[in-house]
Amino acid sequence: MTALHDVAPALERLDRQPYEYVRRELVEPDWRRFPGWRDVTEAQWRDAQWQRVNCVKNMRQLRKLMGDLLDESFYEDLERDQQQLATMSMLIPPQMMNTMNVDSTEAFLADPIRKYMLPVASDRDPRWPSHPHSQRDSLHEAEMWVVEGLTHRYPTKVLAEMISTCPQYCGHCTRMDLVGNSTPLIDKHKLSLKPVDRQDAMIDYLKRTPGVRDVVVSGGDVANVPWPQLESFLMRLLDIDTVRDVRLATKALAGMPQHWLQPRVVEGMERVARTASRRGVNLAIHTHVNHAQSVTPLVAEAARTALEVGVRDVRNQGVLMKGVNATADDLLDLCFALQGEANILPYYFYMCDMIPNAEHWRVAVWEAQELQHAIMGYLPGYATPRIVCDVPYVGKRWVHQLASYDRELGISYWTKNYRTGIELEDPEALDRQYPYYDPISTLSETGQNWWADQG
């Protein structure tokens, strides 16, 4: 018979849910806690040009900003990574830096934003830093360029890479072969055409290809395209009758919301949004937020401003990364911050792509499937993000759509129902099974040994 004193704890356990929702108001951390920004005013902080000028671009600037907040061991760890492992150069806006925990060296090392914006050598997988099948252009986007910078992978959709720079460089960048400055490890590819010629070629292709109805305008980051140039390109897109959806891809909505709050940008966005609405075109902004810490009042202000001037939706496409957000609590905290506090719709979480030196971030397909299951039922259905695997030569697939799965070797196989532009004459494209690979460190000893034997 159960003792009376055991009843209350038992009932409490029955009432407890795996995730407990608690509303948390957004907070803009005090940037003056950084020694290098002690005298920075709010007016300076809200100024986009000040944010750009004061980005952290190298070790010297980081030391000046941090003062004595970090131990020397951190800088040694960072230097090893910068010289031997980094695929992206350092570029962190003050806005992003300010969302990191700098209470101590240990807290900074554990911080989720730091882990993907400022990786250090000790973060990386010591045995398998890269998967044997990792590639610089892991999604083969450049192979599918129909003109320079215009990837035609899906039948009705294209990706327009307007520029090869961003206001911030993320360590896990899927376009690390093209975006940003070269690193000691990676000599970056370069766009060769002048921007005006590249844009002319893109517009010409879209006019000649009426089957394309959806254009993702990206880069890099469209926040680095001079506004008059970007507005002109968008207006030209809106002049094409067959284009029905236009999406602007910008992590800077979270990384540098000050850019999207500039009066000239807001006024220009309103002109574009009103034109899109008048012509029946869906105009949306897609941003990239990976942790609830990044969602601050300034980010919410930038998102709401875009909506107020007529942008139809602001949506988030995050990346699933170990140490950053690969738990149900972290994902749900982020989604509630986005949806409930900033009017940003949680949309996708991509599994981290198979680029070099990214294995410590990646999760296995089965782990992604478990996370998808864990987050169901808490958010509104329309705001419950889908976790997707962007399979090379296939495209985005929900993580439960695989055709078969060898868990021991960590190899999943996927099919597709359309041909990419480079497979139009391939009779087997729709019957072929395309492989995707789990991180080797997630496999059993048998699986890890098998991969070791492959050399």
**291-336 confidence digits (pLDDT tens):** 999 999 999 999 999 999 999 999 999 999 999 999 999 999 999 9
H/E stretch holding 284: strand 282-287
Q: What is the pLDDT of residues 348-359, one digit of tens each?
A: 999 999 999 999
Dist CA 216 CA 284 (whole Å): 10
**How does residue 455 score in pLDDT terms, banded at 50, 70 and 90?**
confident
Dist CA 298 CA 289 (whole Å): 14
| 14: pLDDT strictly greater than 60 | no
120 C-beta neighbours (distance < 10 Å), count: 23
Rounded to a whole number of angstroms, the CA Rg of the chain reads: 23
Reading the block at residue 209, the tokens are 């290809």
Q: What is the pTM of this model?
A: 0.95
Q: In this structure, are residues 180 and 170 in contact, taking their beta carbons and an 8 Å threshold?
A: no
First-residue to last-residue Cα distance in the chain: 61
Q: Which residues contact 123 (CB under 8 A, 6 or more apart)?
A: 81, 115, 323, 360
pLDDT at 421: 83
Which residue type sits at 121? A
* Strand runs labelled E in 75-195: 145-147, 150-154, 157-161
Q: In this structure, are residues 131 and 451 in contact, taking their beta carbons and an 8 Å threshold?
A: no
Dihedral (C-alpha) 211, 249, 168, 387: value to the nearest 10 degrees?
-90
CA angle at 62 for the pair 56 and 65, rounded to the nearest 5°: 95
pLDDT at 7: 65
Burial class of residue 20 (count of CB atoms within 10 Å of its CB; 0-12, 13-18, 19+): exposed
β-sheet bridge partners, residue 387:
349
| 165: pLDDT strictly greater than 80 | yes
Buried-state track 124-145, b at ≥16 Cβ within 10 A, e below 16: bbeebbbbeebebbbbebbebe
Which residue type sits at 298? L
Q: What is the pLDDT of residues 367-421, one digit of tens each?
A: 999 999 999 999 999 999 999 999 999 999 999 999 999 999 999 999 999 998 8
Query: How far is the CA of 81 from the CAs of 22, 182, 184, in angstroms?
Result: 38, 14, 10
Q: Which residues contact 141 (CB under 8 A, 6 or more apart)?
A: 151, 153, 159, 161, 175
Q: In this structure, are residues 18 and 329 in contact, taking their beta carbons and an 8 Å threshold?
A: no
pLDDT at 15: 62
Dist CA 399 CA 412 (whole Å): 10
Compute the residue count for the chain.
Answer: 455
